[in-house]
Amino acid sequence: MSPLRALARPLLASAFILDGVDALRHTEEHARKAQPFAPALAKAGAKVPGLPTDPRTLTRLVGAVQIAAGVLLATGKAPRVAAATLAVITVPTAIVRHPAWASTGAERQEHLGGLLRSAALLGGLIFAAEDREGKPSIGWRYDNWREHREELVQLRDELKAEVKAAKQAA
């Protein structure tokens, strides 16, 4: 792993690990912020089996996932999956924690700043989820394998033909 990745991944992950710890330590406060979204959670829970509809349970779940994915990202274990998981969680979490549309004045500015910070972290997560550490994509590798496979088959057939011709000449 390059030194930049070794530094950047833990730095990016630290915000999510701390967020997850805070969600587990202050579940009631986070659940209170999610309370206005209870009807939407109920609808989603009806469509997605196993999804908790209680804001407290969902807060704990999201906190635990943030900690787990953050640790995986920080340590470089499955970093693309961890970053993608955190990116998926970031959007609804930012909406719940920073309701700028429901506030005015200084509070609105604070919420807008929080939304922009969340958007910036989301951008970093998108880069981390896409980072292949210089390796080509699976699609490119498959196409390259198929292209070389055809060449190998062609070479094998030519070699067989030469061997057959050499046996007939002998």
User: What Cα–Cα distance (Å) separates residue 132 from each residue in 86, 117, 156?
Assistant: 17, 25, 34
- Considering the domain architecture, whether residues 41 and 115 belong to the same structural domain is answered as yes
Q: What's the distance, CA 108 to chain centroid?
A: 29
Tokens of 113: 């700043």
**Domain span including residue 153:** 137-170
In this structure, the answer to whether residues 94 and 145 fall within a common structural domain is no
The rounded distance, in Å, linking the Cα atoms of 35 and 33 is 6
End-to-end CA distance of the chain: 57
Q: pLDDT of 29-64, one tens digit each?
A: 999 988 888 888 888 888 888 888 888 999 999 999
- 4-32: per-residue pLDDT in tens? 888 999 999 999 999 999 999 999 999 99
Same domain, 67 and 143: no
Mean pLDDT of 113-128: 93
Name the pTM for this structure.
Answer: 0.76
